[in-house]
Structure 1
Amino acid sequence: MTGRHDGGVGGALRRDRFTFGPLEEGEALVEPILGSWEANMDHALARSPIDVCSSRGEDTVVLGNLGVVRVLDVNAGSRDVRVREGDLCLLLPFGRLDRFDYAELAYAYDCPGTIGLLAKRSKMDVRLLLPVPDGTAYSLPQWATYGRYFTAWDNWQKAYGCWRTQVADDDPANHLVFGWGGGVAFAELTLAKRAGFRVAMAAGSDERVAFLQENGITPVDRRRFPGLSLPNRQERADRDWHQRRRASVEDFHGLVNELSDGHGVAIFVDNIGEPLYDVTLAALAREGVVTTCGWKAGMRLSQLRGAECISRHIHVNTHVWRLPDSPGIRDFQETEGWIAPKGSDVIYDFDRVPELADDYASGRIGSYFPMYRVNPL
């Protein structure tokens, strides 16, 4: 992407040549195969919540921090390197780590000097390359969705653990986990389902409603509640709009009560943010948890602190996952089949990446797992 552009989100992308120096110790030359289109790329192109070009002090940034690459060469030096030429690897999106190995800056996003997957060739630290399991039962497109699954794993572990601090021994079958968001929320709800919870998720298209139903998640058609989101500036002065919102919120909470036997949502996975946050909090059960690992539509949230205390609500916020946990999550995916369903992706060729960016920003993609192909397998 370039520092300046005109037009839509896709207009921030420009095909160009770039150069990088020779491999340094512990670096690998890689050939990106498939990249996963993530919300962080949409945020980067929209220059919100930050302008990553300005933040990095760079005029041009190569985006793309989750996907599958082929290793072409390795400069091991004195390091214990566990990748070799020809390996297919998952790129782990860690730029700068904190003292507990969580990400402070994301690779190919706000971390300066990092080169993403929207390039025919790139180089990266071998510590960020996690090999795809030998003889895997799953396709490369299925593995290319790993970023949503790794993120969901970390967020679910924290949210479920917090819920259990207050509800120590009740059967999860008595409790509802609800989500709105995309692929991360879907992956998280499949973990909740494995844990024995009732699970439901909002969806805004026939394709997504059918997909959720096929995968054992109760679909809630978002179109049934057209006034659910907070109003924009023009709508705030419309008295009829406020009546429509009140009706949509009441209808939604009525449905939640039906699904939860009148108790509300035990764990609410809310990766949307501000437009629906008041609805999320009002839908929470006592001792409920609201958990998020993303901010698709609004980062600034407000709440009535006293009400949250009295209801014993726990708020969980996570970002990415812990780097040393990566091999274990990958192995769980392989052995347990916790991975994107076969054929659930949609793939754009490299020349169509600007179109992918615009389709994603406009909500025209039915799949929870959009991706782009850079080089052939």
Structure 2
Amino acid sequence: MAGPYNGEPGGALLRDRFTFGPLEEGEALVEPILGSWEANIDHALARSPIDVCSSRGEETVVLGNLGVVRVLKVNAGSRDVQVREGDLCLLMPFGKLDRFDYAELAYAYDCPGTIGLLAKRSKLDARLLLPIPEGTAYSLPQWAAYGRYFTAWDNWHKAYGCWRTQVADDDPANHLVFGWGGGVAFAELLLAKRAGFRVAMTAGSDERVAFLRENGIIPVDRRRFPALSLPTREERADRERHQRRRISMEDFLGVVQELSDGHGVAVFVDNIGEPLYDVTLRALAREGVVTTCGWKAGMRLSHLRGAESISRHIHVNTHVWRLPDSPGIRDFQEAEGWIPPEGSEVIYDFDRVPELADDYAHARIGSYFPLYRVNPL
């Protein structure tokens, strides 16, 4: 990503050569194979919520912080490096860690000096490479979407733990977990289903409705509530628009009441943000949890603190996951098959990355797991 932004989703992308220095101690030279297109790339290209070039103090940034790479060379030096030449690995997107090993700055996003996977070659700290299990039962495209699953693992366990502090022993089968559509929400709902909850999620296309149903999640067709999002700035004076929203909201809340036996949502996975936040809170049960690990459309939120306190709502906010937890999450995926269903990914070749950026920004991708291929296997 380089140069001034022209307002188009792929407008900040520039195909060019770049150079980096020799491998320092503890670094690995890698060849990216498959990258996962994540919301953080979309945010970087839109220069919102931050301009990562300005934030990093760099004119050019190579994006792409989640994907599968092949290790070409390792300069271990005196450091304890666990990867070898030829290993296929997952990149852990940690730039700067805090004292508890959570991400403070994200690799190939807002952490200066980090080189992402949208390049034919890259070098990085070898400690960020997590080998794919030998003899894995799953394909590289299935593994390449791990970022949504690792993020979901951390967010779900924090949200579920908070819910259990107030609802200590009731059967989860009596409670509904709901999510606005997205790959992370999909992965979380599968964990909630494993824990015994009823699970439901919105979807905006026939393809996604069928996909959710095939995976044991109750699909709620988003198209039934066409005016559910907050009016735009231009629409705020339009009384008819507000009336249409009230109707959409009442219809949606009616569905939630039916699915939850009239109690509301126990845990609501809301990675959308401002346009739907008031709907999320209205749908939430007493002692309910609203949990988020992203901000697809609006970070600035507001609510009535008194109402949230009286309803004993808990708000959970997480980001990425804890680095030392990575091997355990990977091993759970391998052992339990908690991984994108085979064939559910969509892959764009490297030359089509600008098209991928545009399709993602305009919601033209049916899959929850869009990938890009950098080098052949």
Smaller-chain TM-score range? Answer: over 0.9
**In the alignment, what sits opposite 2:300?**
300
CA distance in 2, matches of 1:81, 1:190: 34
Q: Structure 2-normalised TM-score? A: 0.99
Given that residues 7 and 46 in structure 2 are in contact (C-alpha distance below 8 angstroms), is that contact kept between their aligned partners in structure 1?
no
Given that residues 42 and 357 in structure 1 are in contact (C-alpha distance below 8 angstroms), is that contact kept between their aligned partners in structure 2?
yes
Q: Secondary structure at the match of 2:142?
A: helix
Q: Secondary structure at the match of 2:240?
A: helix
Given that residues 31 and 69 in structure 1 are in contact (C-alpha distance below 8 angstroms), is that contact kept between their aligned partners in structure 2?
yes
**In the alignment, what sits opposite 1:230?**
230
CA distance in 1, matches of 2:5, 2:105: 25
* Count of aligned positions: 377
Matched letter for residue 172 of structure 1 = P
Matched letter for residue 367 of structure 1 = S
User: For structure 1, which runs of at least 5 residues remain unmatched after alignment?
Assistant: none
Q: Over residues 222-267 of structure 1, what are the superposed CA-to-partner deviations in whole Å (9 max), with x where a residue is unaligned?
A: 0000110000122111111111000000000000000000000000
**In the alignment, what sits opposite 2:48?**
48
Given that residues 273 and 298 in structure 2 are in contact (C-alpha distance below 8 angstroms), is that contact kept between their aligned partners in structure 1?
yes
Matched letter for residue 219 of structure 1 = P
Matched letter for residue 94 of structure 1 = F
Judge which range, 234-243 or 324-333, deviates more.
Answer: 234-243
Given that residues 3 and 53 in structure 1 are in contact (C-alpha distance below 8 angstroms), is that contact kept between their aligned partners in structure 2?
no
Given that residues 116 and 122 in structure 1 are in contact (C-alpha distance below 8 angstroms), is that contact kept between their aligned partners in structure 2?
yes
**In the alignment, what sits opposite 1:32?**
32
Shift of 1:90: 0.1
**In the alignment, what sits opposite 2:212?**
212
Matched letter for residue 348 of structure 2 = Y
Shift of 1:181: 3.5
Matched letter for residue 120 of structure 1 = K
**In the alignment, what sits opposite 2:354?**
354
CA distance in 2, matches of 1:96, 1:17: 26
1:287 equivalenced with 2:287 (yes/no)? yes
**In the alignment, what sits opposite 1:329?**
329
**In the alignment, what sits opposite 2:79?**
79
Q: Secondary structure at the match of 1:89?
A: strand
The structure-2 alpha-carbon separation of the partners of 1:304 and 1:5, relative to structure 1 and needing over 3 Å to count, comes to closer
Matched letter for residue 156 of structure 2 = W
Shift of 1:5: 3.6
Q: Over residues 20-60 of structure 1, what are the superposed CA-to-partner deviations in whole Å (9 max), with x where a residue is unaligned?
A: 00000000000000000000000000000000000000000
**In the alignment, what sits opposite 1:246?**
246
CA distance in 2, matches of 1:18, 1:193: 46
CA distance in 1, matches of 2:101, 2:178: 30
CA distance in 2, matches of 1:3, 1:177: 43
Shift of 1:7: 4.9
CA distance in 2, matches of 1:205, 1:153: 26
1:314 equivalenced with 2:314 (yes/no)? yes
CA distance in 2, matches of 1:335, 1:52: 37
Q: Secondary structure at the match of 1:11?
A: coil
CA distance in 2, matches of 1:331, 1:62: 30
CA distance in 2, matches of 1:337, 1:170: 28
Q: Structure 1-normalised TM-score? A: 0.99
How do residues 117-156 of structure 1 correspond to structure 2 at under 5 angstroms? 117-156=117-156
**In the alignment, what sits opposite 2:343?**
343
Shift of 1:11: 1.6
Given that residues 175 and 265 in structure 1 are in contact (C-alpha distance below 8 angstroms), is that contact kept between their aligned partners in structure 2?
yes
CA distance in 1, matches of 2:243, 2:171: 38
Shift of 1:108: 0.1
Matched letter for residue 74 of structure 1 = V
**In the alignment, what sits opposite 2:88?**
88
Shift of 1:373: 0.1
Matched letter for residue 277 of structure 1 = Y
In angstroms, what is the RMSD of aligned CA positions?
Answer: 0.6
Given that residues 264 and 284 in structure 1 are in contact (C-alpha distance below 8 angstroms), is that contact kept between their aligned partners in structure 2?
yes
Q: Over residues 273-321 of structure 1, what are the superposed CA-to-partner deviations in whole Å (9 max), with x where a residue is unaligned?
A: 0000000000000000000000000000000000000000000000000
1:202 equivalenced with 2:202 (yes/no)? yes
**In the alignment, what sits opposite 2:63?**
63
CA distance in 2, matches of 1:208, 1:229: 19
Shift of 1:91: 0.2
Matched letter for residue 173 of structure 2 = A
Given that residues 27 and 76 in structure 1 are in contact (C-alpha distance below 8 angstroms), is that contact kept between their aligned partners in structure 2?
yes
CA distance in 1, matches of 2:28, 2:269: 37
